[in-house]
Structure 1
Amino acid sequence: MAGGWSRDGAVQDQIDASVEDAVKLARSRLSQGESLTHCEECEAAIPEARRKAVPGVRFCISCQEKNEKQQTAQTGYNRRGSKDSQLK
């Protein structure tokens, strides 16, 4: 049951679209190809165990953590513009 100006199922459609966007983003961030032996950012050696565990790894653990923190800090915006997110 939808209220106001939205049609029935509109809320679920928005939830489904948000989940689909998150899955696409996660897949796009997966590494592909051959792993590097040294970090792309700081030139530190990447341990062999990490290269085997994460195919296509390009960063050492500390640089990877920095990159992930920067990415999560930028994802706080609800691009669909719900009123709830604008009230905060």
Structure 2
Amino acid sequence: MVRKDAIVKLHKQLLNRRDVLKKLVSGSSEGSSASRAIVEDSGDAAIRETRQGLESHLAEIESQELVQIRRAISLIQEGRYGHCEACNKNIPIARLKAVPYTMFCVDCAQKRESMGLPSNDVGSDWENAYEFEGRLNDQDVRIHDLDMEK
């Protein structure tokens, strides 16, 4: 029962973070391309380009995190959340609290990283991302929909 309660709390945290990221990602995609009539020197242009590059990189990271969070929410809805995708053992709650959208236990994540595989990046695994694309939605799950006894 303790694990189920922890997963319910993590679900709420994931939903909150998802909502924040959705706002950030949609806000960054609109951009702030206000046309300027101000003449820039080369230093101003370099600063502007650097800022745009950093904002673009941050938006990419936020988008990847959003995909991972949506996947974790989907796994909660399916009752498969918190199980390592490599060894199928329960991922410790402490790890899930640290990285709520993780798909691997520490041992399997370390093994994957040592082999040069991503340990938690859904964005680079196109086949896996495609598989989950149809199931990713923004509907919230109700507590009684969760079956954590598996």
Which SS does the other structure have where 1:11 is aligned?
helix
- The change in CA–CA distance for 1:23 and 1:47 in structure 2 (over 3 A counts) is same
Give the counterpart of 1:11 among 36, 40, 46: 46
2-structure distance, mates of 1:22, 1:64: 24
Cα gap change, 1:29 to 1:44, in 2 (>3 Å)? farther
* Overall identity of the aligned pairs, in %: 28
Deviation at 1:47, TM superposition (A): 0.7
More helix, by proportion: 2
Deviation at residue 40 of structure 1 after TM alignment: 2.0
User: For the structure 1 residues 19 and 38, does the alpha-carbon distance in structure 2 shift closer, same or farther, using more than 3 Å as the test?
Assistant: same
Identify the residue that residue 63 of structure 2 maps to in structure 1. 28
TM-score by length of 2: 0.33
Q: TM-score, normalised by structure 1?
A: 0.50
CA distance in 2: counterparts of 1:42 and 1:17, whole angstroms: 41
What SS does the aligned partner of 1:15 have? helix
- Determine if contact 1:41/1:63 at 8 Å carries over to the other structure: yes
Higher RCO structure (Cα 8 Å, ≥6 apart): 2
Question: Between Structure 1 and Structure 2, how many residues are aligned?
Answer: 64
Decide whether aligned partners of structure 1 residues 11 and 64 sit closer, same or farther in structure 2, where only a CA change above 3 A counts: farther
Q: Does 1:51 align with 2:96?
A: yes
Distance 1:23 1:52 in 2: 23
Q: Which consecutive unaligned segments of at least 5 residues does structure 1 have? A: 3-7, 71-88
